Amino acid sequence: MNNPTNTKVFKPNWCLGCGNYGIHAALLSALKNSGQAPEDTVIVGGIGCGGSLPYWSGTYGLIGLHGRAIPIATGIKMANRKLKVIVVAGDGDTYGIGLNHFIHGIRRDADIVCLVCDNGVYGLTKGQASPTSPMGFKSPSTPNGNRLQPLNPLALALTAGCGFVARGYAGNVPLLADLIRQAIEYPGFAFIDVLQPCVTYNRDHDYAYHAKSIIPVEMTLDRNEALSTVMAQQERTPVGLIFKADSSSRATQADRTLVADPGTDSVDITKTLEKYA
């Protein structure tokens, strides 16, 4: 059974030192701090190392298909608006194969949290370059160095209209836990790109590298200012809540959300049939 308090059961298959330990700890802490009941929480995992997190969460979980965590999570949330739904998927999953859903998920703006474990590499398939790998990155699929420009997921989210855009770091659990708590409380699609060392396949970007490169960022309510921040060419990577829309000014989510209620009576369609009489 899923039970995080039972340490015998908590046996992740992550490498020693993997950033997912920090993300896991931060997520569980945020859920606890926001008073979220485990039975009313669904964690939707992608396919990748981080996607296994639901097994050890003590909540409901659904580990679906590579790239498709966002539509699955959106369906769950729309079917039962009482649930808190959290996506945990990787950079290859979200910015590669599933990028379409990332953009349209933001447009749909269901009240879900989207955590992207961004280690700049495909870990579970043994180290190929990902959409956030830097130019020149050497990997089994790019032996002469990556020739594709890395994506800027935060700029992408901001321009797609995301109302909650943050960057966290797996090596700073208290900061990440606080970001996740705020994302849980935000009423809409809340996105956190989580910098995460892959100790096996992306050794350049280890804890020491991240510790030196990250700087805290001031939150802004101005989307253009946030965009300038994330687009700026700088030595150091801003971490924290970067942009939050003034939620009172946000349009109500257009899609109908439901409360699951398995009734047993078939629905009366007489009125509609009368139109065809």
Cβ proximity of 201 and 224 under 8 Å = no
Residue 135 touches another protein, criterion: CB under 8 A: no
Report the distance separating Cα 104 and Cα 113, nearest Å: 14
Task: Find the part of the chain contacting another protein (CB under 8 A) among 163-171, 181-189, 196-204, 249-257.
Answer: 249-257
Which residue lies nearer to another protein by CB, 215 or 260?
A: 260
Q: To the nearest whole angstrom, how small is the minimum distance from the Cβ of residue 224 to another protein?
A: 26
Q: Does 20 bind another protein (CB under 8 A)?
A: no
For another protein, which residue of 23, 28, 30, 42 counts as binding (CB under 8 A)?
Answer: 42
Cβ 119 to another protein shortest distance, Å: 21
Partners of 88 in the beta sheet?
A: 45, 115
Max intra-chain CA distance, the chain? 74
Nearer to another protein, 78 or 245 (CB): 78
CA distance 82 to 267: 24
Number of residues near another protein (by CB under 8 A): 58
Strand partners, 85: 42, 112
Binding mask 60-79 vs another protein (x if CB under 8 A, - otherwise)? xxxxxx-xx--xxxxxxxxx
Q: Binding residue for another protein (CB under 8 A) from 26, 27, 28, 47?
A: 47
Q: Is the dihedral of CA 40, 46, 51, 52 positive or negative?
A: positive
> Should residue 32 be labelled a site residue for another protein when binding is judged by CB under 8 A?
no
Q: Is 251 in the site for another protein (CB under 8 A)?
A: no
Residue from the set 4, 12, 38, 150 that interacts with another protein by CB under 8 A:
38
Q: Candidates 6, 32, 33, 82: give the one binding another protein (CB under 8 A).
A: 82
Residue 124, CA atoms < 13 Å, CB-side half-sphere:
17
C-beta of 4 vs 150, nearer to another protein: 4
157 binds another protein (CB under 8 A): no
Q: Where along the sequence are the contacts to another protein (CB under 8 A)?
A: 1-2, 38-40, 42, 44-45, 47, 52, 54-55, 57-65, 67-68, 71-80, 82-83, 100-101, 103-104, 108, 255-258, 260-267, 269, 271-273, 276-277
